[in-house]
């Protein structure tokens, strides 16, 4: 039997193919080379200054719309995509967000619900990272309950005219195209809004203390006139954006493991080298209990991600199971970061170490793509048959 590996205590590598390991290692090396050396500074400045350049590099690696087929997309498996998300988020949740929103939300919406012409027009450039997309569902007054959105699209001759506001939109200010969900006489529909369309603006949101190395924006739509073919023809009703969310939530199931892993590994290394009372921190039983607990949480989450990935590749993954994974893995990763932070003592609050950055990032991850409460209620409904979202 192989030796116990503290970095892979369940020997999960034995469950991955050589190709899966190769993809993971490529993304890990890319992050170590291009992102990790700068990410602390970007976070501190509250910027992602090289977002466009990074998108092109990630496009060349095949990471954008990675699990989609055709139109320049890599056509990789769900497990490949998950492993990539894990490595990206081991670096920073904001970097994984850039990729999630591009591939799982904006590109997926077009790929799944777009016309042939829309797919040909947008997807190859988005897969290459030359064209950036965003996904506007949340509004100032409607977050967990997007079905009550007020943004509207009305017909004027053949055209559509959109009015409303979206809030907290990742990639908004750098996007070349916004997928905007709006209410019509015919229910909720999706629209492709090119940047620069008169009446459309995407101002940056400021003062975030989480996900600082990520572009977050408002979308302003004031009498935005679009041609008839701007509407995604196959997307009818709230179920369409929710299907896109399943894809991005799936990526988060994996990604959050990466954030937890970085915190755990940082704490393990720190505990081995920092000495107090003439002993390494790692020699204290209380520290060992923390390390053991964090290890269980990170690697159980990893096992869950891999299991859900295999179900997805087999075409068997249910939205309720995605909620299960997102709820569990983000919560566990945040818990691991908080514990890791205590092991680092005062250094735990410094950006010299990645732990506090991951911890504050995960506060966003806990909220976006469905809050803890929403996923708890999704599971509650799956268990009892009773929806408890509204009175």
Which member of 87, 89, 218, 369 is catalytic? Answer: 369
Shortest Cβ distance from residue 134 to ligand FAD (Å)?
6
Which of these segments, 57-65, 129-137, 309-317, 321-329, binds ligand FAD (CB under 6 A)? 129-137
Nearer residue to ligand FAD within complex by CB, 254 or 368: 368
Shortest Cβ distance from residue 285 to ligand FAD (Å)?
36
x/- mask, ligand FAD, residues 195-234, rule CB under 6 A, reads: ----------------x----x------------------
Nearer residue to ligand FAD within complex by CB, 9 or 147: 147
Restricted to residues 77-106, the positions that interact with ligand FAD (CB under 6 A) are 101
202 binds, among ligand TGC, ligand FAD, none (CB under 5 to 8 A by kind): none
Task: List 152's β-bridge partners, or say none.
Answer: 163, 183
Nearer residue to ligand FAD within complex by CB, 240 or 374: 374
Binding site for ligand TGC (CB under 6 A): 97, 100-101, 135, 137-138, 144, 146-147, 170, 237-239, 242-243, 245-246, 248, 319, 368-370, 374, 378, 389
Query: Residues 85, 137, 177, 244: which binds ligand FAD (CB under 6 A)?
Result: 137
Q: Is 369 a catalytic residue?
A: yes
Task: Give the residue numbers marked as catalytic.
Answer: 369
List of residues contacting ligand FAD (CB under 6 A) = 101, 135-138, 143-144, 168-170, 211, 216, 364, 367-368, 371, 373-374, 389
């Amino acid at each position: 039997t192989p030796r116990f590996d503290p970095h892979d205590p369940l020997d999960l590598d034995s469950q991955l193919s050589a190709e899966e390991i190769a993809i993971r290692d490529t993304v890990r090396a890319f992050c170590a080379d291009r992102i990790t050396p700068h990410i602390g500074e970007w976070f501190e400045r509250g910027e992602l200054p090289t977002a466009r350049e990074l998108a092109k590099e990630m496009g060349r690696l095949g990471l954008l719309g990675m699990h989609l087929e055709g139109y320049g997309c890599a056509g990789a498996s769900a497990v490949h995509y998950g492993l990539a998300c894990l490595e990206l988020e081991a670096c920073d949740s904001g970097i994984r967000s850039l990729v999630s929103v591009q591939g799982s939300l904006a590109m997926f919406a077009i790929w799944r619900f777009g016309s042939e012409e829309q797919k040909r027009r947008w997807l190859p450039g988005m897969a290459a990272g030359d064209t950036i997309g965003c996904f506007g569902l949340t509004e100032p007054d409607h977050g967990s309950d997007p079905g009550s959105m007020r943004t509207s699209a009305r017909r004027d001759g053949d055209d559509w005219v959109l009015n409303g506001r979206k809030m907290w939109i990742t990639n908004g200010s750098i996007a070349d195209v916004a997928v905007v969900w709006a209410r019509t006489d015919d229910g909720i529909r999706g629209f492709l809004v090119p940047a620069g369309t008169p009446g459309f603006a995407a101002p940056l949101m400021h003062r975030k203390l989480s996900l600082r190395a990520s572009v977050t924006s408002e979308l302003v739509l004031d009498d935005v006139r679009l041609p008839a073919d701007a509407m995604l023809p196959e997307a009818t009703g709230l179920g369409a954006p929710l299907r896109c969310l399943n894809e991005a939530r799936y990526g988060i199931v994996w990604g959050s493991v990466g954030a937890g892993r970085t915190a755990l590994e940082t704490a393990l290394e720190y505990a081995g080298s920092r000495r107090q009372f003439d002993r390494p921190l790692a020699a204290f039983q209380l520290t060992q209990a923390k390390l053991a607990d964090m290890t269980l949480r990170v690697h159980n989450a990893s096992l869950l991600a891999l299991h859900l990935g295999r179900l997805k590749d087999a075409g068997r993954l249910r939205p309720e199971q995605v909620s299960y994974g997102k709820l569990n893995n983000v919560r566990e990763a945040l818990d691991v970061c908080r514990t890791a932070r205590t092991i680092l003592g005062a250094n735990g609050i410094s950006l010299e170490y990645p732990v506090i950055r991951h911890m504050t990032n995960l506060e966003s991850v806990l909220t976006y793509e469905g809050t803890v409460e929403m996923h708890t209620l999704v599971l509650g409904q799956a268990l009892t048959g009773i929806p408890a979202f509204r009175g």
